Amino acid sequence: MIIEDDTIESIRIRFNKLAWTLDERMRRLFAAAEASALGRGGITKVAQATGVSRRAIHVG
């Protein structure tokens, strides 16, 4: 599955709107949920969009 640039941008926008209200654990969970929804390659794309490390997303 190819993940489109507009999908990544929408994740970036949602994350930036919420990030200041979330603690570290909730940021990881948000990123992990987004990555899971994207499927294969989702962790890498969400890491690029949010700045959350791939490892942190994997741990969730």
Domain around 25 = 5-59
User: Could you give the dihedral angle defined by the CA atoms of residues 28, 44, 8 and 15, in that order, rounded to the nearest 10 degrees?
Assistant: 10
As given in the structure block, the two tokens for residue 32 are 């992990």
pTM of the predicted model as reported, rounded to 2 decimal places: 0.87
pLDDT digits (tens, 9 = 90+) for 1-57: 677 778 899 999 999 999 999 999 999 999 999 999 999 999 999 999 999 999 999
Kindly state the DSSP code that residue 25 receives in the 8-state scheme: H
The pLDDT of residue 1: 61
Question: What total of structural domains would you count in the chain?
Answer: 1
> Closest Cα partner for 10 from 39, 54, 60, 45?
45
